[in-house]
Structure 1
């Protein structure tokens, strides 16, 4: 285990993560054990950069054991996985699967460890806050005037209209399939299917993939022990597609059997 010291802000006590004991312990453990050296270090043939930590979920389970009465208890692997997924979704950490365990990267690690945010005394920060508020009000007044001037000058510039996909569009159908498969693993609110369909379209057109490949990956990823917790939107599906494809092809060179695919009405 890494020795030495690291710093953190008292702002942590005002952060929502403070009220979630399990999530807080996991995050603080990863953050506290992340590599501090600027040049990083090498662990098990993996070069870790500053702010990174390599650990398996099973080892984390042992590391986070806690004492209750006369014995020790552990969080279930499912609980640890769920909390880590939340940390990823909240943008606190990033994860990457390696042959030696999961590589955790603490987002904004440099900001946590920098002294800049602690340099100004409270009185000076309060003055700055007051000055900032007055400056914001001034800017708001100027913006209001500019808005009126723009209208008077008949400025007709508009943002491009958001693309709308019909219900029978293949991209939207795949978006809905992905949502239904995610619901089998975790409960999320219904998304904007037009936005999801647009990402699916980019995954196919911009990344040069077939609709069948995307559909197969949706089924495979949402049934995978690890990736089912990571893939919670088309954005994460697209981001990790290549990495998942390598793992998928290692286990089987065959596509998902037609019998396992949902009835989409799509003819690939």
Structure 2
């Protein structure tokens, strides 16, 4: 990376990268990696010539530089960083030309706002740095004063990574809604992710509870027509929870049908055996005759 400085314009505060500290860091890394006036790089054993505003990188290389000195639990994986770089390309901030071994990234409009001033070397007198710093500080103060009213009215917007639990739950809700209505329009999943975050962080809902309520609401005939956004899911959560807890199997049919439902129970084995023991069986003829003889003897004893 070259020694010197880069110019960072204040209008970046109006950009989507300003709302995500890691995304802002990645954009600044791209600006700092870009060659000031053209150079040659040795990348993966191959010499690559770049022009001003260009740099050579790859997914693993950019991840290594980005995460240098960052605690392991706070590092951003390479695939996420590369997806952000692709987002920069979609927003016309840079362009990418890739080969099987490396990619050449070109910062758009580099010459218009970076190459107009000479690059400052580390040997440049400190007084120059001081004057520039004071001037920039005054300009920043004036700009901030002009924007104070607007900034006070706007809350900081967050950008949620697609791998985050908030984004995934928001996406899950939309897919369930889409299953009920294939013509449902795609929502702003970033806004939905923020509502899901509030459910978990502010309302103290567990992610599995939110997941279960998403599924229950979209499988319920009534609530599936009401819960059409993450905001509604949050608003109606307690009401749906009460109804979901009362959802038990009725012992009678609805009031408009007077007939009660009949529950069939399986007769236990011991009861079957008892029934079989008391069951009447037809008496054989010889048994009848024997019984009659005994009755006659009993009657004769009584006469005597």
User: Normalising TM by the smaller chain, what interval?
Assistant: 0.3 to 0.5
TM-score normalised according to structure 2 size: 0.34
What is the TM-score with the length of structure 1 in the denominator?
0.39
